[in-house]
Amino acid sequence: MTSGTTSPAVLLVAESPSLVARVEDLLEPWGVLAMQAPPEQALTLVDSGHARIVLCEVREGLRLYLERLKAAGAVPIVVGRPPQEPLGGVDYAGKPSELIASVFRAHGRLAGLEPTGADRVNEFAQAIASKFTLPELVREAISKTRELCDADGASLLLVDPETGALCFDTVEGGAEGKIERVRLAKGQGVAGKVAVEARPRLVPHAAECPDFDPSFDKKTGFQTGSIVAVPLILSGDVLGVLMAVRSVERLPFTPVTLHRLVQLSPHVAIAVHNVQITTQLRSSQSEVLQANASLEQKVRERTEQITRAKQEWERTFDAISEPIALLDGYVIRRANQAYARRVKLPVQDLPGKTCHRVFAGRDTPCPNCPLGKGRGVALSAELTIPNPSTAKESTVELSGYWLSDDPGSSSVVVTYQDVTQSRSMAERLRESERLAAVGQLASGAAHEINNPVGFVTSNLRSLRGVVDELRLPMRVLADVIGLVKDKRHDDLAELIASLDEPDLETLDEAVEMIDESLDGARRVSDIVKGLRELSRLEIGRREPADTNSSVTRVVRSEYGEQPANVQLLLEATVQADIAPLQLDQALGHLVKNARQATPKRERVVVRTWSTSNEVVVQVRDEGVGIAKEHLRRVFEPFFTTRGVGKGIGLGLTAAYGIVRRVGGDIEAESEGPGRGATFTIRLPRAEAVPLANVA
């Protein structure tokens, strides 16, 4: 082929039309024109410079014909099996792929390129593979592509795996510096078609190609004449397109150029893939390093937090003034400083020892110790153990908490509280309270008794005067009786005449004074009776009480049968842990108090109900009510708001004492005078059969 031809011509010397058509189909995609001509005409076309590559079939006289072709400057290719005596310096093409390769080799020789072109491809491939970053690789691949193809410009476009678009940052050659960061849609332009079809492409004349996109020429001022582009394929995936261009002022690219670019493309594809993988690995490594650094920083921060928390916990643990220990069963795992001070041992010597040996000086667990009784027993007990500091026995309250919900775990935290002094102080306080209560009771009793005793004494003195005044009349009466018996009527008349009129009013007053004295004596008797009731500190054998029956009895006793203003709401379903007689006495005082507070027969409601651990009795009236300043004193001995002679103030006190002695509670509520009052008794449930089964 001469430099003036626009495309190589292949002259097929063959008599088989089917072979001609097949060869034309193979060579047409590569821009090679196939022609059929007889042998002599082929020599003429070669001599005239219209053809340089000739395909010959094996036939007689082939050796001579090949020599004539070589002499004319043609490159012959033999199609079919070689003869028994091979001809030197001639390519044989038995397969279509061999035919195409032979055509490219022939074209290369005609263009003045020696077979050493394969060595240049290997050299360029090694240069490209030596780059480890994508920008360096792209620049090197573009440079080598331009040099290999003797191109005016070159570019390496990479496929976006998400969209299929082609992207490139760098163009070298005529458009250098004018096009940057171009993005081609999928299938756009010649490069886009090559990426979609995954086939190399030679475009001799860009202006005649329908896939050519002239928009880049308009941006750059470069006029594209010829294009050669090959896909970068690896493992069936198109990674990008390697493309070279020549201007319209130069000869178009030839199939040899395309062939060399095809030879280079696998090396570029592998290099691109390796760089991308390396970049991803470096990015992943960087992310991992950053994550590791962040994790290490978090670990350091968390370690510092844990260390600080541990120190704070240890200091808090040691700052507690009461002995505390962490135990596995009876074995000490850790103890605080208070525990060490109590047992007079260094705190570091305590782990591994048993608590009963260290704390109580015993070889066996302490009596009543709950640690060995399992999870069903509350971790609380009162122990009597020796105190090394005082050489006396101390009373210690043990309380614990399981450290795990695992039934098989025996880890527990235990705290010990020495209550010896507090119990002693509490006993002294109770003694002081008892003495104060006795003093208050004695003072109240003295005050209450002094009132009736005072007017009884005054009445007796007055009666003494009346008796003194009656002595003379009584003596005269005795004389009168004697005179009457002696029938001395004259003396009797004279004696009667000497008497004064009797003062009957004085006698009436004396009778009133006697009645008042009797009432005073009754009040003193009631006070003594109330004091006796308050003094009953022991209640004897306790039996369960039916609160509903007790309420019914007390209301009937106080109000009679079916009182109109009293409503009973008996909802209790269990018995109360109190003796029936004691309950009747306490309720009697409350019901009596309600009756006295409702002089106009206002409404009274007595209700009972039960809870999971209590039996409740409530007495509510709509009577005179209680002032707020008096609510806190209603249970005090001798406190009453009913006036002198209407109450001694011991009924609610007695009810309070009865309820409290059985472990119950009693409270009073009122919104003020005229708003009524409510008294509520809360008693412990009895462990007995329900009320429905009580005989």
**What DSSP line would sit under 435-476, residue for residue?**
HHHHHHHHHHHHHHHHHHHHHHHHHHHHHHHHHHHHHHHHHH
Residue 399 has pLDDT above 70, yes or no: yes
Q: What pLDDT is stored for residue 442 in this prediction?
A: 62
Task: State the pTM of this model.
Answer: 0.37
Q: What pLDDT is stored for residue 568 in this prediction?
A: 93
Q: What is the mean pLDDT of the chain?
A: 78
Q: Which residues contact 179 (CB under 8 A, 6 or more apart)?
A: 171, 216, 219, 220
Mean pLDDT of 174-179: 48
More confident call, 541 vs 362: 362
Q: What pLDDT is stored for residue 111 in this prediction?
A: 57
More confident call, 239 vs 44: 239
Buried b vs exposed e over 142-157: b needs ≥16 C-beta within 10 Å?
Answer: bebbbebbebbbbbbb
Helix-then-strand count for the chain, H and E: 18, 22
Q: Any idea which of 87-91, 215-219, 375-379, 430-434 has the lowest mean pLDDT?
A: 430-434
Tokens 């960087």 map to which residue? 286
Q: What pLDDT is stored for residue 616 in this prediction?
A: 95
Q: What pLDDT is stored for residue 104 in this prediction?
A: 74
Q: What pLDDT is stored for residue 502 in this prediction?
A: 62
Q: Which residues pair with 242 in a beta bridge?
A: 156, 230
Residue 14 has pLDDT above 70, yes or no: no
In this predicted model, what pLDDT tens digit does every residue of 646-691 receive, in sequence order?
Answer: 555 677 888 888 888 888 999 999 988 888 999 999 999 987 545 5
Q: What pLDDT is stored for residue 682 in this prediction?
A: 94
Q: How many residues does the chain have?
A: 695
Query: Hey, which of 204-218, 403-417, 472-486 has the most confident mean pLDDT?
Result: 204-218
Query: DSSP string of 63-104?
Result: HHHHHHHHHTT-EEEEESSPPSSPPTT-EEE-SHHHHHHHHH
Query: Hey, which of 176-185, 362-371, 429-438, 498-507 has the most confident mean pLDDT?
Result: 362-371
Task: Please report which confidence band the pLDDT of residue 115 belongs to, taking 50, 70 and 90 as the band edges.
Answer: very low
Q: Is the dihedral of CA 527, 532, 537, 538 positive or negative?
A: negative
Long-range contacts of 142-148 (CB under 8 A, 24+ apart): 142/170, 142/171, 142/172, 143/172, 144/264, 145/242, 145/243, 145/244, 145/261, 145/264, 146/172, 146/173, 146/244, 148/120, 148/121, 148/124, 148/260, 148/261, 148/264
Query: DSSP string of 359-385?
Result: HH--SSPPTT--TTS-TTS-SEEEEEE
Task: Please report which confidence band the pLDDT of residue 118 belongs to, taking 50, 70 and 90 as the band edges.
Answer: low
Q: What pLDDT is stored for residue 130 in this prediction?
A: 79
Phi/psi at 47 (5° precision): -60, -35
Task: Please report which confidence band the pLDDT of residue 571 belongs to, taking 50, 70 and 90 as the band edges.
Answer: very high
- At position 466, the amino acid (one-letter code) is V
In this predicted model, what pLDDT tens digit does every residue of 185-200 receive, in sequence order?
Answer: 888 889 889 989 888 9
Query: Hey, which of 379-388, 449-458, 485-494 has the most confident mean pLDDT?
Result: 379-388
Query: Hey, which of 452-461, 487-496, 548-557 has the most confident mean pLDDT?
Result: 548-557
Q: What pLDDT is stored for residue 5 in this prediction?
A: 36
In this predicted model, what pLDDT tens digit does every residue of 615-646 receive, in sequence order?
Answer: 999 999 999 988 888 887 888 776 776 654 45
Q: What pLDDT is stored for residue 533 in this prediction?
A: 57
Query: Hey, which of 73-82, 163-172, 346-355 has the most confident mean pLDDT?
Result: 346-355
Residue 1 has pLDDT above 50, yes or no: no
Task: Please report which confidence band the pLDDT of residue 180 belongs to, taking 50, 70 and 90 as the band edges.
Answer: low
User: Closest by alpha carbon to 516, among 602, 203, 445, 524?
Assistant: 524
Q: What pLDDT is stored for residue 412 in this prediction?
A: 86
Mean pLDDT of 220-240: 88
Q: Any idea which of 63-77, 106-120, 270-284 has the lowest mean pLDDT?
A: 106-120
Share of the chain above pLDDT 90, in %: 10
Q: What pLDDT is stored for residue 229 in this prediction?
A: 92
Q: What pLDDT is stored for residue 665 in this prediction?
A: 92
More confident call, 406 vs 503: 406
Residue 569 has pLDDT above 90, yes or no: yes
Q: What pLDDT is stored for residue 453 in this prediction?
A: 73
Q: What is the DSSP letter of 600?
A: T
Instruction: Copy the structure tokens of residue 456.
Output: 């009884």
Task: Please report which confidence band the pLDDT of residue 567 belongs to, taking 50, 70 and 90 as the band edges.
Answer: very high
What is d(CA 96, CA 88) in angstroms, rounded to the nearest whole number? 21
Mean pLDDT of 193-210: 90
Share of the chain above pLDDT 70, in %: 77
Q: What is the DSSP letter of 390?
A: T
